[in-house]
Amino acid sequence: MTDTRYDRAPGDSPSRRAIEESPGSEPLVYTIGLVLALVLTATSFWVANTAVLWPPGVALGLVVLAIAQMGVHLVFFLHITSGPDNTNNVLALAFGVLIVALVIGGSLVIMADMNANMMPMDGTMNMQLQR
């Protein structure tokens, strides 16, 4: 006979954390995530429009804030954690990141190759003048 505890798919049984938490804590998690997302968004706008920061460091600051924003969304809204019942979620996220990286990398390679194979601008101007 099969044991019923092995007949469940990952995520079917409630996790220990979900059992221990009270039902009223779910809105609190979303509220904390919303407040953090709003603070990070406001900070991003401030960083982009301020003259207080060192100008070359603004881009790095925006990248750091964007990564923090993605982390807040993944943890507070999508509930992707490192728990054993979230293995499929983490694998799906890793696959999505891989696909996005391949698309962006391939686009950059194609654009760089197209730029190298373009006709020089003076050649284009000479062709227009000859007509």
Instruction: Give the pLDDT confidence of 49-103 residue by residue, as tens digits.
Output: 988 888 888 999 999 999 999 999 988 988 887 777 777 888 888 898 999 999 9
Q: Are 42 and 53 in contact (CB under 8 A)?
A: no
Please state the domain extents for the chain. 1-79, 84-131
User: Which residue from 70, 3, 81, 85 is spatially nearest to 33, judged by alpha carbons?
Assistant: 70
pTM comes to 0.59
As a whole-number percent, the residues of the chain with pLDDT over 90 amount to: 37
Give the Cα separation of 114 and 107 in Å (integer). 10
